[in-house]
């Protein structure tokens, strides 16, 4: 009995099947890698949002109706500033009563600012509430990939888009509630509300 070799057509069919299996395996591998990348990216965004929310909540819970002083020793007109930054610029600025972020000191009053720059919100904390030429400042990234942001401030019976309201000439303290809405790339819109204390120092 003679052994017949494979015909050219049989060889071509076999090669085509092997190639198809290879393509399917590679596609499956790339899909799995892409899925893992997306999953890790979403986990990173979620962790960042949770940390940002906790940071903002902590800062606003410790906000003070306290007028800081500039480098010339003159008091600010208002203890709390809040505006919609549009594309970029200052968002929030206020005094907080906190423990240690720089060292082991306790019961320190500091000044905190939130600034939007190039789709990144930065948190800027001054070691002391009253500014000097040597005031130590610490800047950290608060949130990234911010496509849009909106702030509203509660007066009690109404909401306003900035604090202080433009016609206020004297310090009117802290808003009761802040509504903060982010538009985050790859996530969408997130809205949070924060209660503020009413203490004065």
Nearest of 183, 14, 185, 176 to residue 82 by alpha carbon: 176
The better pLDDT of the pair 124, 98 is held by 124
- More confident: 81 or 20: 81
Q: Write out pLDDT tens, residues 47-67.
A: 888 899 999 999 999 998 888
Helical (H) or strand (E) element with 2: none
Q: What is the CA radius of gyration of the chain?
A: 28
- Asked if pLDDT for residue 45 goes beyond 80, the answer is no
Q: pTM value?
A: 0.71
The pLDDT of residue 136 is: 83
Does 42 score more than 70 pLDDT? no
Q: Which domain holds residue 137?
A: 1-201
Give the number of domains in the chain. Answer: 1
Confidence of residue 170 (pLDDT cuts 50, 70, 90): low
Q: Whole-angstrom Cα distance, residue 42 to residue 141? A: 18
């Amino acid at each position: 009995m003679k052994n017949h070799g494979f015909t050219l057509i049989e060889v071509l069919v076999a090669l085509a099947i092997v190639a198809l299996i290879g393509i399917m395996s590679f596609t499956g591998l790339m899909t799995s890698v892409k899925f893992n990348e997306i999953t890790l990216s979403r986990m990173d965004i979620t962790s960042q949002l949770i940390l940002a929310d906790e940071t903002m909540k902590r800062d606003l819970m410790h906000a003070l109706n306290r007028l800081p002083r500039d480098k010339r020793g003159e008091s600010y007109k208002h203890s709390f500033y809040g505006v919609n930054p549009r594309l970029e610029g200052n968002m929030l600025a206020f005094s907080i009563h906190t423990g240690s972020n720089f060292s082991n000191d306790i019961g320190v009053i500091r000044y905190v600012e939130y600034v939007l720059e190039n789709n990144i919100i930065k948190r800027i904390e001054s070691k002391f509430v009253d500014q000097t030429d040597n005031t130590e400042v610490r800047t950290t990234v608060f949130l990234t990939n911010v496509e849009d942001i909106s702030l509203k401030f509660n007066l009690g019976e109404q909401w306003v888009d900035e604090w202080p309201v433009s016609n206020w000439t004297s310090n009117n303290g802290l808003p009761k509630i802040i509504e903060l809405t982010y538009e985050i790339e790859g996530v969408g819109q997130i809205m949070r509300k924060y209660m503020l204390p009413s203490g004065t120092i």
